[in-house]
């Protein structure tokens, strides 16, 4: 009798690492899988029968992976100010960042949030305080690369691009994981059947399943502005090309050979 799998919610399983599931993937009345060429009914043990777990235990693992292009860009736009005292630097930097944020929010296709904020003293070669300097940044994030690039260029008259990185959005990652889960589960079933047949058993029953995967990676840095460099004049939109990232789903578990 072909095994039937109950649907398993995937989003939180892979986000929180490996989660051990009880053997719920085999429905009552379909607790065993018969190996190819075996006699019909040879491995059909009643569900709940203690004898169902008397066979040897076998641990198996299968995986499926796919290279997916990162679909989200993060552009960090930074600005620097100078003033004779710390309070003046803070006021100038706050006004500049407020103005930058108003510009950043002019495009609804791009999300904007405050990034770094730092104020420090400038000293001469002799250690004498000669002034204060401040630096702050706004982070632009969007799946629309053209919109994010154009907005960053628009802000260039008061700031400079200090970093660009790419990530895979949660929506795209979960879509890839759903597809890969089916592939990994099929590979696990095929390995279990092959192992049962190789060791002279007629089939198997799933006892425990564990899921894992890799779909979230650290953003890849694209470029950076040297600290202290002046903001360049407005230029053409920054060309953006995202990298590929590997999304994988692992299925491991224990089966009872029957």
What is the CATH classification number for the domain harbouring 122? 3.30.70.360
Q: What is the pLDDT of residues 97-121, one digit of tens each?
A: 999 999 999 999 999 999 999 999 9
Name the residue among 20, 25, 29 with its Cα closest to residue 52: 29
Q: Can you give the residue range of the structural domain that contains 17?
A: 11-68+170-216+248-257
Main-chain phi, psi angles of 155, to 5 degrees: -85, 0
Classify 30 as helix, strand or coil. Answer: coil
Cβ contacts of 86 within 8 Å, gap of 6 or more: 119, 121, 132
pLDDT at 156: 78
Task: Give the whole-angstrom CA distance, residue 196 versus residue 52.
Answer: 15
Number of independent structural domains in the chain:
2
Residue ending a domain, choose from 167, 194, 226:
167
Residue ending a domain, choose from 134, 152, 167:
167
Per the domain annotation, does 222 fall within a domain?
no
Main-chain phi, psi angles of 227, to 5 degrees: -65, 135
Main-chain phi, psi angles of 119, to 5 degrees: -130, 135
DSSP string for residues in 181-222: HHHHHHHHHHHHHHHHHHTT-SEEEEEEEEEEEE---PPEEE
Question: Residue 22 pLDDT more than 50?
Answer: no
Q: Are residues 76 and 162 in the same domain?
A: yes
pLDDT at 163: 94
Q: What is the pLDDT of residues 50-70, one digit of tens each?
A: 555 678 999 999 999 999 999
Question: Residue 3 pLDDT more than 70?
Answer: no
Q: Are residues 159 and 174 in the same domain?
A: no
Q: Are residues 76 and 163 in the same domain?
A: yes
Name the residue among 118, 134, 125, 126 with its Cα closest to residue 84: 134
pTM for the model: 0.65
Per the domain annotation, does 230 fall within a domain?
no
């Amino acid at each position: 009798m072909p095994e039937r799998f109950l649907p398993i919610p995937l989003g939180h399983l892979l986000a929180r690492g490996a989660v051990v599931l009880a053997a719920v993937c085999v429905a009552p009345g379909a607790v065993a899988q018969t190996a190819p060429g075996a006699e019909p009914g040879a491995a059909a043990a009643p569900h709940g029968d203690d004898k169902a777990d008397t066979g040897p235990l076998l641990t198996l693992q299968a995986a499926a992976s796919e290279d997916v292009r990162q679909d989200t860009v993060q552009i960090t736009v930074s600005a620097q100010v100078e003033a004779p005292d710390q309070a003046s630097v803070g006021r100038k930097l706050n006004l500049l960042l407020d103005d930058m944020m108003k510009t950043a929010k002019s495009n609804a296709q791009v999300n904007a949030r405050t990034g770094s904020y730092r104020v420090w003293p400038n000293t001469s070669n002799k250690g004498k305080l000669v002034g204060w300097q401040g630096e702050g940044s706004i982070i632009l994030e969007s799946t629309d690369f053209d919109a994010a690039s154009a907005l960053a260029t628009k802000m260039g008259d008061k700031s400079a691009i200090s970093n660009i990185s790419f990530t895979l959005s949660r929506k795209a990652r979960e879509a890839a994981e759903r597809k890969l889960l089916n592939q990994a589960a099929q590979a696990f079933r095929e390995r279990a059947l092959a192992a049962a047949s190789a060791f002279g058993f007629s089939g198997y029953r799933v006892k425990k399943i564990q899921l894992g995967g890799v779909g979230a990676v650290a953003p890849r840095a694209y470029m950076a502005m040297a600290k202290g460099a002046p903001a360049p004049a407005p230029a053409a939109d920054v060309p953006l090309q995202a990298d590929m990232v590997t999304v994988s789903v692992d299925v491991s578990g224990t089966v009872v050979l029957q």
